[in-house]
């Protein structure tokens, strides 16, 4: 198992040009607060989000754990996710090609930088975006939004991360 982990993980920045190393501030471990509405009721779930450089530095992978391992026994969620995303820099298009998967779900996205936000377009879903913003050394904000045909923005859920 150590051979696999050693080959996967990479401490070096690698081949992502510095000006496109947009996700580097997210590398590390985060405690997260997830907010949405389930069946018309506001919901708050504690979670974990862990980011690491992988594949000799050509990508950044994460593990998305909601509810967290610490809280899942006391606060199980019917739609909880234990998933992973792999982000690979696409030097031809100056963006990141991303795949997210968990049990029963596989999504492909393209992430681009828009001002101080990292905006991911879900490729197989019309007008669906995942957005990282307010990224600092100690925190970040993430949103899952859908844009209606009239141009209005609907927040599906949001996450606030705090560095561990």
- CATH number for the domain including 123? 2.40.128.20
| Of residues 130, 23, 32, 143, the one with CA closest to residue 80 | 32
Question: What is the distance between the alpha carbons of residues 138 and 153, in angstroms, rounded to a whole number?
Answer: 27
Q: What is the pTM of this model?
A: 0.94
Which of the four pLDDT bands, split at 50, 70 and 90, describes residue 99?
A: very high
For the chain, the domain total comes to: 1
Its domain, for residue 52, covers 2-163
In this predicted structure, the answer to whether residue 71 has a pLDDT above a threshold of 90 is: yes
């Amino acid at each position: 198992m150590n051979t696999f982990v050693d080959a996967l993980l990479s401490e070096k920045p690698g081949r992502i040009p510095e000006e496109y190393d947009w996700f580097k501030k997210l590398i590390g471990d985060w405690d997260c607060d997830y907010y949405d509405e389930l069946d018309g009721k506001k919901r708050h779930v504690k979670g974990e989000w862990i980011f690491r450089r992988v594949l000799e530095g050509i990508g950044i992978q994460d593990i998305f754990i909601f509810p967290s391992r610490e809280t899942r026994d006391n606060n199980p969620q019917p739609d909880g996710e234990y998933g992973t995303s792999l982000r690979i820099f696409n030097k031809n298009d100056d963006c990141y090609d991303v795949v997210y998967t968990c049990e029963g779900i596989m999504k492909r996205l393209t992430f681009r930088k828009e001002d101080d936000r990292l905006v991911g377009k879900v490729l197989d879903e019309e007008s669906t975006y995942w957005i990282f913003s307010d990224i600092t050394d100690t925190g970040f904000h993430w949103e899952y939004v859908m844009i209606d045909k009239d141009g209005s923005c609907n927040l599906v859920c949001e996450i606030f991360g705090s560095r561990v």
